[in-house]
Structure 1
């Protein structure tokens, strides 16, 4: 993996090494899983399992995370009851797409191509996480995906959606394309960016480079608004695990501040909760000298869909609760 400067080397290596370890473990686990299979059809892995095999970071997916093995099926007869296995249906429009294979000794492990995996997972993900997954897929474009040597680009994602037929979640996938400019360095950085857009901030520059004088170096910042001299950096586990990296990050930020930049550091708590995302967006808006709009700019209005779905679910829950309460009250009166 290319690392143009010291400031980026550790986080990227940390992530890549973690994905390599996960891939190796998943290949071995899938081989064992296949040997224990009692079905007579070929097993094709998909969902989060396929992402781990392809060394792609997994999105936040509470509906599927409890099962480690996600297996494709096209008809109900292929769904056997197995511990730790979730069966996901392959839409008719995606059945002609090629798969990816891996070898574990003499065992051939087959999984869906990342584009198909993206489509299969879309109905289970929020709009935000569909974008996060697409960003992670583009981040994997710097290396071959799978033994087939497939590379992923935004153009390939767009062509895929244009050439396949309809499938559940295709609207989410299409909406994601507007957010795919320069891939971020991690899922958490992507979520940080989307938090800004969700609350109406303009699209920042990703991987902004500038030269600092003390120490003399060309440095890269995660997100930036250069005209307003505002820099935002996400601090994940990699920054805390390597003391040399931590010291370099601090020197870089001190130098940027000395040169007149406002440097805002975001942590997991600022990104993983709605309250944290709102507070972070307000902090950035204040640094930019603007009022926080609260709603996305027109190109990014798709981010409102998650709020609408949450609102609808909460309204349905309240309606069901009222009906249950009314039924109970009637029964008590009759008694």
Structure 2
């Protein structure tokens, strides 16, 4: 039987006790990586079904200590402005790796004030943009052409656009090296954390 306090349950029409969204998110911490947990949390926050305060309260009230490292790591990374799970995973990986915290879904305008694009992740101080590209960007010819024009317009304004795919997220070491090179080339003087330091956040916490 679930260990559920009265404040953490709701009753369905069939009078079945189920955990609240906040409690469920905490329970997922024993199965998901930290980036995946961030993606789930971002989705909940964006839906309006739960607040950040409720997630924090659920974490504080949690009796099962399994997954607490993942929960505590994920909470400060949550952002309801994220529009897709993979975008959330990419942002979590970037911040865990010690890079500057990027802006999320930022509108870019030309000097004339004309809107150019909304970009996924934006390192404003360095003019570096990260764009997650799902398969539909590749298989939809119209979307592919639109992406190329959009990227050319951003590059013409002096920004650098780095595209990221799901394959890159599967091989984070190469991805993080590439991000570090691009940011360093554009003036960043920091150092990313070694992959070994964040590896525990990228595996299944309960394994």
Tell whether 2:200 aligns with 1:306: yes
**Cα-to-partner distance string for 1:292-311 (whole Å, 9 max, x where unaligned):** 61328xxxxxx73716989x
Aligned Cα RMSD in Å? Answer: 3.2
Aligned to 1:238: 136
Partner of 2:100: helix, strand, or coil?
coil
Aligned to 1:140: 47
Equivalent positions of 1:169-318 (< 5 A) are: 169-212=67-110, 216-291=114-189, 293-295=191-193, 304=198, 306=200
Tell whether 2:156 aligns with 1:156: no
Larger radius of gyration: 1
Tell whether 2:16 aligns with 1:122: no
Equivalent positions of 1:94-109 (< 5 A) are: 94-96=4-6, 97-99=8-10, 101=12
Q: Shift of residue 182 of structure 1?
A: 4.3
Aligned to 2:63: 166
Q: Which has the higher contact order (CA 8 A, sep 6+)?
A: 2
Q: How far apart, CA to CA, are the structure 2 residues paired with 1:263 and 1:166? A: 44
Q: Closer, same or farther in 2 for the Cα pair 1:109/1:251, shift >3 Å?
A: farther
Gaps of 5+ in 1: 1-73, 75-89, 142-150, 297-302, 314-335
**Cα-to-partner distance string for 1:123-164 (whole Å, 9 max, x where unaligned):** 2233333323222322333xxxxxxxxx222222123334x2
The alignment of Structure 1 onto Structure 2 pairs a total of residues equal to: 200
Q: Closer, same or farther in 2 for the Cα pair 1:308/1:100, shift >3 Å?
A: same
TM-score normalised by length of structure 2: 0.78
Q: Shift of residue 110 of structure 1?
A: 6.9
